[in-house]
Structure 1
């Protein structure tokens, strides 16, 4: 038998054996990396614009967004920022909602101006780094930016008080590029109850319901983070397009009023919306929340006990904190929130909205925006497939935005909802 024939026979037999042999399973690290290559992270909430306002009064001269690791200021107590271009790339971020938040302590008219300033500084920051950032106002523009290897940069407005109780102002913010609005923040406002303040409306007022209707008519996403459960339910009753929670956890995992109860999660299937899981420790970990409550109670006790000696009260509180150090929220607890949303609402209704640069401490394993891959590895270890992870990273958010755009396009001819001017 010719040697060449023998060689061909051996080779063909070996190839056949390889073809029929079971493929080696990908490691969690490989699965996570493949998912983030195919579908880069789309984060629902980042407070860099707030940091620019508080630290720099919105002056960008001398600010280097390529590296912010040296921005800690011990004199003021400011920690280093969580976000810069280098770490966004390390975190495999392909799209970001930048929050144009302003304080709920401002009057409505002050808030309107302040949000305008935050929109301006956000646009200027994006324009200053054209090789890395690309302004986006639509799903098509997000896709184009990702295809070009840039970080699609959208804007979300946190706190409905900033529209000055005016649907006209709301429409103008949308015209400027704002693509979601959180109905309220830490305080109940004239038309919406907050999760962390005394209720006044039992959810949304009639005007608040019109705000939801008008947002969806023009294609602005309704964000239900920070609102009360009654407000969530009222908004879902009114909504005809998907809503979002830009940065919230699952209340069944951590019973914080800022988190989403199972009854609301169950309605996300019919609505088509998304819960973007937050990483702020007290929203992630019941242990951290309980510590926060204990510290608040201890501070109130000491302030009352030493009402005439505030320095002593502060010193004794510091001693209590030293003796009872705050626990750390863990990567596993964060993954538990993803698990809960998936269990109740389904894999099509979960994403991530970390709240980086909007918190003083972080979840262990996710110190900043570079940490997303670690969470995806943890999820892969729990059995999430590459396809599942791609939905979590950006696929679900893309679907939600497209659905909101489709609803707005179908109702383009509807008349604007009108509200009378206040002055």
Structure 2
């Protein structure tokens, strides 16, 4: 039995809390602290060929597969039903729904293909039980509510299929609200000045069905309105902080305090361009590349591959973001929002990955840096998964009332 299994199964919650409170991280090895924490990554993307051409139970070129989960002791995570933002038309919604269906089916198939190692989780208690049994817990998040179309009537179905958070927007405004990054070709400014009326309906539907409201990728007004409207704590599933890297996608201190005030959690993201700002030369090169390639929602895989190669050349112009840079975001978020309101997301296989945490096999390096910064075992447990599971439990409780 591993240290984690003993901790989760053999100790009462009261005893565990006492142990965590009185045990500082330096008194244990990095491996012991990491093994004791229930590690939960709130953003793991998958390609459209998942489970059809790519078997994540084997060693692959992906940043997350079963061997890497085992090697890095990454216990659990949210696998993502991502849909790129398209036109706000019936045809666009239909195309988005087809993409979403492909991904949710693949995640479900993956969770069933390796029952000795992987299990689908629907509740916070499921996550703890599955990890306590020595397996990896899989949850589902939806990035971009766009494929829902012009109605929220399908939310109960998505809840039944296992979706436990929904990101309101992605790049470009949609039918639910304004994005942090307007589409340069479709959007000339704010579309709704925050949430749309349908977006307000979506927040209510998520509350009623036990699904967390995710405000990563939303504009600030959208995020603040969602926080005020939601009857449950909200999350930012994969965001950084503006005070460290001032990008449109990252959260400013007012947003961090709002997440704290509604008892939510901001999951810091390990995506290099949101962790560390590019040099002026890199920014100019990236802007030129983006202008050359245009609207990414229309790209086929070949164009995505070429873009990725060109982007990698630009990234190589300056040292990449590393684990220390990443934990700078955690430090700042903790200083503003408090230790109970900060978590971790990789954005692996969706652009994430930094020096020292390039894939799931290197997950322990994040714990090592947290220890180096002086975080206790209790605090590391909160950051790695405890805070997110607390929010999920609150959302579950609200839906049950």
User: TM class, shorter-chain normalised?
Assistant: 0.7 to 0.9
| 1:15 aligned partner | none
1:170 deviation in Å? 2.0
- Contact 2:38/2:386 (<8 A) preserved: no
1:238 and 2:233 aligned: no
1:84 pairs with one of 40, 65, 89: 65
1:174 to 137, 145, 159: 159
1:337 and 2:329 equivalent?
A: yes
SS at match of 2:153: helix
Cα distance in 2 for partners of 1:210, 1:26 equals 44
Partner of 1:43: 41
Residue 284 (structure 2) aligned to one of 269, 294, 314: 294
Contact 2:275/2:321 (<8 A) preserved:
yes
CA separation of 1:397/1:291 partners in 2, compared to 1, >3 Å: closer, same or farther? Answer: farther
Q: 1:24 to 1:251 in 2, by over 3 A?
A: closer
Alpha-carbon shift at residue 102 of structure 1 (Å):
2.1
Counterparts of residues 343-362 of structure 1 (less than 5 Å): 343-359=335-351, 362=353
Distance 2:170 2:24 in 1: 45
Q: How far off its partner does 1:372 sit?
A: 1.9
Q: Report how far residue 292 of structure 1 moved.
A: 4.4
SS in 1 for 2:346: coil
Q: Is the 8 A contact 2:75 2:136 kept in 1?
A: yes
Q: What is the aligned length? A: 355
Other structure's SS at 2:154 match: helix
**CA, structure 1 residues 205+101, in 2 after alignment: closer, same or farther (shift >3 Å)?**
same
* Partner SS, residue 383 of structure 1: coil
TM-score by length of 2: 0.82
Q: Which segments of 5 or more consecutive residues in structure 2 lack a partner in the other structure?
A: 1-21, 294-305
- 8 A Cα contact 1:36 1:393, kept in partner: no
Work out the CA distance in 1 between the residues paired with 2:108 and 2:24: 44
Q: State the partner residue of 1:76.
A: none
Distance 1:295 1:174, change over 3 A: same
- From 356, 377, 384, the counterpart of 1:393: 384
The answer to whether the 8 Å contact 1:276/1:353 transfers is yes
- Structure 2 distance, partners of 1:232, 1:323, is 30
CA distance in 1, matches of 2:31, 2:143: 32
1:377-397 residue CA offsets vs partner (Å, 9 max, x unmatched):
111111111111011111111
1:7 aligns to what? none
Q: Which structure 1 segments of 5+ residues have no match?
A: 1-22, 69-79, 304-313, 411-423
What SS does structure 2 have at the residue aligned with 1:255? Answer: coil
- For residues 138 and 322 of structure 1, do their structure 2 counterparts lie closer, same or farther at Cα, with a shift above 3 Å needed? closer
Secondary structure of 1:246 counterpart: strand
Distance of aligned partners of 1:323 and 1:332 in 2 relative to their CA distance in 1, 3 Å threshold: closer
Q: How does 1:262-273 map to 2 (within 5 A)?
A: 262-273=253-264
Deviations 1:307-359 (A, max 9, x none): xxxxxxx9xx98xx689814301211101000011000000011111100001
Partner residue, 1:140: 125
Q: 8 Å contact 2:203–2:229 — kept in the other structure?
A: yes
- Tell me which residue corresponds to 1:101: 82
Q: Deviations over 1:45-72 (max 9, x none)?
A: 0012xx2x1x46x515x7352211xxxx
1:71 aligned residue: none
1:34, distance to aligned residue in structure 2 (A): 3.0
Quote how far apart the aligned CAs of 1:231 are: 0.8
Structure-2 change in CA distance of 1:396 and 1:82 (3 Å): same
Q: Distance in 2 between matches of 1:103 and 1:24?
A: 45
Partner of 2:32: 34
Aligned to 2:52: 59
For the 8 Å contact 2:56–2:66, the answer to whether it is kept is no
Q: Cα distance 1:32–1:323, how it changes in 2: closer, same or farther (>3 A)?
A: closer
Provide the C-alpha distance between the structure 1 equivalents of 2:362 and 2:237, rounded to a whole number of angstroms: 18
Distance 1:354 1:224 in 2: 16
In structure 2, do the counterparts of structure 1 residues 273 and 246 end up closer, same or farther at CA, with 3 Å as the change threshold?
same
Give CA-to-partner distance per residue, 1:16-68, whole Å, 9 cap, x none: xxxxxxx998648x4543332222211100012xx2x1x46x515x7352211
Whole-angstrom CA distance in 2 between matches of 1:387 and 1:206: 41
Answer with 1 or 2: which has the greater Rg.
1
The answer as to whether partners of 1:222 and 1:244 remain within 8 angstroms in 2 is yes
CA–CA distance in 2 between the matches of 1:208 and 1:254?
Answer: 28
- Aligned equivalents of 1:221, 1:249: Cα separation in 2: 19
* Structure-2 residue corresponding to 1:152: 137
Distance 1:133 1:333 in 2: 32
> Secondary structure of 1:247's partner?
strand
